[in-house]
Structure 1
Amino acid sequence: MSGTWLIVITIIGIAILLYLIMRSKMQAFIALLLASIFIGLFTGMDPLNLLETIEKGMGGTLGFIAVVVGLGAMFGEILRISGGAERLAFTLVDTFGEKRAVWALGLTGFIVAIPVFLDVALVILIPIVYSLAMRTNRSLLYYAIPLLAGLAVAHSFIPPTPGPIAVASVLGVDLGWMMLFGVIAGLPAMIVAGPIFGRYIGNKIHVAVPDHIAEAAKQEAADKQLPHFGLICLIILSPLVLILLNTTGGQVLKDGPLKTALMFIGHPFVALILATLLAMYFLGKRRGVSKEHMQTITTKALEPAGIVILITGAGGVFKEVLIQSGVGETMGNLMAASGFPLVLLAFLISTFVRVAQGSATVAMITAAGLVSPIVDMAALSQPSLALIAIAIACGATVLSHVNDSGFWLVNQLLDMSEKDTLKSWTVMETIIGLTGFIIVFALSFFFS
C-alpha cells in the first residue's frame, strides 16, 4: 500500500475522531477506539491481527498508567479532604505578604495541582482568591490568574498528573527527565502568564466577588481545622524527590546495591505508594479518620481516575495501530526527508487537536500517538524525548475556548462573561503554552 494512501487514511481517521468527540459528543474512550479500528482496517491490516493490536496497545499502556494514575488519585483525594491544599495556600500567602500574594498563589497552584486534579484544586482554593479580592477591593482576576497559571502549568507539564503521565508512557520518557524539563519550562511560563499577566488583566477588567459566594467561602475556611504546613510540603514533595533520585542514581551511580535501592524506591510505583501511605497515616489516622472513612475516600478517588485510565489506554491503542499499520514508518520517512524539527511538529499537532476538540488530555494522547512511531525510528535520547513530551504539553495548553470544560469552570467560578473569560483565561493559557514551547525549542538545540 502506498505511503500517500496511508497518510490520507490517517488524516481521515483523525477527522472521524474529532467529529465523534465534537459533534456527536461521544466519550473520548470509544471515539479513540473507533478511529483506531477505522485506520487499521482501511490501511489493510488483517481484522484478527487488528484485534490483537488493540489488546496489545491497551495492555502495554495501562501496565504503567493504571498504577500511577490510581495511586495519584488517592493521594490527591486524601490531600483535598484533609485541607492540605488550603493550608499550603494560606501559609504561603501569609509568608509572602499581601503585596506579593500573587506570587504565593502562583506557587500554590503549581504545587497543589501536582497531586490534585486541576478542577478540584481550583474549587478548593478559589475561596482564598475571593478573600484577597474582598480585602483589597481588587479585581478577582488580579489574584485568580496567578493561581490558575500555577494550576494549569502543573496540570500539563509535571508528572504524575494524568496528561504528562500518558505522554511519558506512550513515548517511553523517563519521568525524572520530564519533571526536570517540565519545571524548567513551566516556572517561567507560570510567572509570565500568572503574576505578570494577572496584574495587567486585573487592572484592565474588574471582576467583583459575588456576595453569596464570598460569604459561604469565608465561613467554610473559618470552620476547617487544617494540617501543618511542613507536613503537607513533606508529603507532596516526597514522591517527586524519590523519582528524581531514581533518574539521578541511574545516570551517575555504578551498578551495585545503592543504585538498585535508589532505582527501586524512586520508581513511580514505589514512590507513589510511599507517598499515599504517608498521607493515609499523617492526614488520616493521626487526625482521627476511621479506617472505614479512609477506605471510602480512597475508593471514591478511583472513580474519576478510571475515566482517565481508559482514555489513556485507548490512546495506547491508537499509537499501536499507527505502528502496526505502517503509518508510523511512512510518517517517519517523510519527517526525515523534510528536516522538520520533531519538537515543533509535536507542538503543532497537539495545538491543532486541542483547538479542535477542547480536551488537553485527549490532545496530548492523540499527539503522542502520532509522534511516537517517528520517535521510535529516530532513537532519541531521554532528554530529547522529554523535550518532545513537554512540547506536546505546551500545544495542549494553548487557546482554551468554549469547547473546553476548564473555560466554563473558570467562567462560572469567577462569574464572568464569555468575552472576559476569553480575554483572561484563554490568553493566560496561550501565554503558558507559547512561553513553555519557546524554552523547550531553545533547549532542543542542546539535546539531540
Structure 2
Amino acid sequence: MSGTPSRPARHLFGRGSWPEVNRIGDILRTETVGGALLLGAAVLALIWANSPWSSGYQDLIAFKAGPHALHLDLTLAQWAADGLLAIFFFVAGLELKREFVAGDLRDPRRAMLPVAAAAGGMAAPALIYTAINAGMAGGALSGWAVPTATDIAFALAVLAVISTHLPAALRTFLLTLAVVDDLLAILIIAVFYTSSLHLLPLAAALLPLGLFALLVQRRVRSWWLLLPLAAATWVLVHASGVHATVAGVLLGFMVPVIRRSGGEGPGLAEHFEHRWRPLSAGFAVPVFAFFAAGVSVAGAGGLGETLRDPVTIGIVVGLVVGKCVGVLGSTWLVQRFTRATLGDGVSWWDVLGLALLAGIGFTVSLLIGELAFGVGSEKDEHARIGILAGSLISALLAMVVLRARNRHYRQLCAAEERDTDADGIPDFWDDDTVRR
C-alpha cells in the first residue's frame, strides 16, 4: 500500500528565485554605497560639532529657508528630517509593496519570517528601554521607540567592510526585515509622535494623493504631472501635524507593481524605485545624517554624565541586546512552530550575525529621538550619543561573528561558481525557482 507523498520540508533562508536574487543584488549595491556616504557624513558632522568651529555647524543646521506664508520657513535640519526623509520612505514604500505583490514574499510562508523578525526586533528593544527608564522623570519614557529601528544602509556598509560571502537569502532577509522595520517605524511616528492633528489639511491631502494614484494607475510617468501632486501631498500632510515622512510611504503605496498588460518585465513601482533609490541612498539619507549626527559631547554634559543617563543606557542596551534577542528569538519561534529547517549550509551563527547587524539603528532612530525629546534638548543629545554608541557596538560584534563565517562561505561560493552554466544561472538553482 503506497503512502501519501510527504510534502518537502520547508527551509528558512532558502534560495529565492534567480530574477529576484539579481534584483536584490542591485539594491544591495546601491544601499552599500549609500551606507558609505552616510557613514562619511556622520563622521564629518561629529568632527565639526566637536571642533573649535562648532558654532558654524550649529548656525548651519539652524539656518531657515522656505516660504513663510505656507508655514514652511524651516531650518535646514528640519528640511532634511521632514523633506529628504520623505524620499527615503517613498522608496521604502515602493520596495515593500513590490516585495509583497510580485516578489518572493508574495508567498505568506516566505513573508512570515522577516515580518516576525521585524516585529520581535522592535518589541524587545522597546520593552528593555521601558524597563530601564520606568519611573524616570523628565519624559524619559517618551523615547521608548528610539532603539527599535534598523538602518539598512549602515548595516550593508558594515557587510561591505566585512566582505562576507553571506548567502543571498540572508542578505535578502536583512533587507526585507529593515524595510518592514521602516514601515512599522513610520506607523509608530504617525500614531505616537503626532502632538497635534489638524483634520482639514489632512483631509485636503487626499485630493492630490488621489490624483497621484489615478495617474500612476494609468501608468503615467511624466514628472511634471506627478511631482507637483506629490509635493502638494507632502505640504498638506506636514500642515496637518502628522510627520511629513508619512506622505512618502502613502505615495509609494499608490504606485502599481504589475505591468498593465500583465506581461513579464518591471512594473512602474520598480521603474520609480530604480530612479529614486540612488537619490535616497546617495543624497537624502547622508544629508539627514550630516544634520542629525553632529552631537557635541562636551555640550551634552560631559561623556561620563551622558553614559550614566538611563536614556543613553536604555538605547544602547536596546540596540545591542534587545534587537539581537528580538530578531534571533522571533526567528527561532518561527522555526519551532512551523517545523521548518534552516536552508542548506546556513547556521544559527549566521542568524546571530544578522540579528546583531539589526542593532545598527541610525537614520530612523535619530529621527524618532528628535521627535521624542525635541531637537537640541539635553535628552536628545544623550539619545544621539546612545544611538551612535549602540550602533557601533552592534557593528563590531556583528563583524566578529560574520568574519568567522566568511571563510566558510568563500569556499562554498568558489565551488558553486564552477557549476555555473553558460546562461549565467548556477546549476544549484531549482528549475521551478528559476522560472519564477
**Which is helix-richer, 1 or 2?**
1
Structure number with greater CO (CA < 8 Å, separation at least 6) is 2
TM-score with structure 2 setting the length: 0.25
| TM-score, normalization by structure 1 | 0.25
